[in-house]
Amino acid sequence: MAAPCRNARALVTCVLRCSSCHVRTRWEAPRQPCAVLLQQGVKSPYRTYSTPSILQVTDAEEEQRPLKPPNMVAWYPTDDVYHIRYYPWNPISLEECFQQMRRAAELEFRKPDIWVQISLQLDMKLEKKKKVEPFVGSVHLPHTITEPKKILVFATESDDVEDAKKCGAHIVGGLELIQEILQDKLDFDYCVSVPNLIPDLQVLKKKLQKKFPKKKRNTVGHDIPFMVDLWSRGQKYSALTYNHPKQEGKGHVNVIIGRLDMTDEQLTKNIDCMIKAVCTYKPLSFGPFVTRAMMHAKGTPSYKFHVEPFLPEEPKDDELK
């Protein structure tokens, strides 16, 4: 076979017409290089037929082939060692998540009491251009994982003050606490108030910031025992939205739901309670609120699990009657 062409223009012509450099044909290759033949004006034979396909597949065989995800090799790998980017990230069961997470933590020499966190992807879209606003809430998990928080209660009536003290509120008082809060003399984690004192507490809005009582966060109301118990022993969660234009209408919640040394049943109950609490911020008629769920612990990979069993179901017509 002749040597490949070094001239760029001759190489292009060679690829198109020549059979001696880059294309295998049935004709015998010329003895001289292509560039020399082109300069002499000698026409080299070129192929007039198309190359046969490597694998001939009939229409019946093509219909029997399982559909694979776009830009992927297959739905599931056939070996335990494979490139992650060539296969889709399929969800697994919760028991398998716990098993793999504990195994990964053991290999990373992590302590058995590390925190377990779940990440929920939310569909914030409503009718037309309306969306679910970012929210902050708290839920009382079946198996508590944190120590009780210090709660400050704004109340003036004697019945409300007694209820707050019986529930275990750390600080209870009226408008006389405003000056002490401005001077940083009081130490507390959350603030709860009755509705009639909110106009007088506007002075503390810049000072308290996120701790300022709001009705959306269940920190303003007449049921003081419920609010104190919710925020002293409950688990706080917050929903945020993405700033990227491709993620418009989507949000996410990252929250701790337990420790790795807890049993599978305890972690499952906490996950179920947390997902159902998050789903209360969107009506069921607009579709599922949580579209994807992942779980991970410190030093372990993220594991995607099935979220459908934990989503609340819309009540049937028979139940409404």
Give per-residue pLDDT as tens, 72-104: 887 777 777 778 888 888 888 999 999 999 999
21's CB contacts (< 8 A; 6+ apart) are 1, 2, 4, 5, 11, 14, 15, 34
In this predicted structure, the answer to whether residue 288 has a pLDDT above a threshold of 70 is yes
User: Best-predicted range by mean pLDDT among 9-13, 85-89, 285-289?
Assistant: 285-289
Residue 225 and residue 192 in contact, taking contact as beta carbons nearer than 8 Å: no
- The predicted pLDDT at position 48 comes to 52
- The predicted pLDDT at position 307 comes to 93
Average pLDDT over residues 27-52: 51
Average pLDDT over residues 31-43: 56
Please list the residues that pair with 238 across neighbouring strands.
136
In this predicted structure, the answer to whether residue 9 has a pLDDT above a threshold of 90 is no
Q: What's the pLDDT band for 314 if we cut at 50, 70, 90? A: confident
Average pLDDT over residues 91-119: 91
Counting residues of the chain whose pLDDT is more than 90, the rounded percentage is: 29
Residue 137 and residue 236 in contact, taking contact as beta carbons nearer than 8 Å: yes
- The predicted pLDDT at position 116 comes to 94
**Which residue has tokens 């020549």?**
18
Q: At 19, which helix (H) or strand (E)?
A: none
Residue 106: what residue type? E
Q: Which tens digit of pLDDT belongs to each residue from 245-280? A: 888 889 999 999 999 999 999 999 999 999 999 999
Residue 42 is encoded by which pair of tokens?
């000698």
Length of the chain: 321
Q: Which tens digit of pLDDT belongs to each residue from 290-303? A: 999 999 998 889 99
Residue 46: what residue type? Y
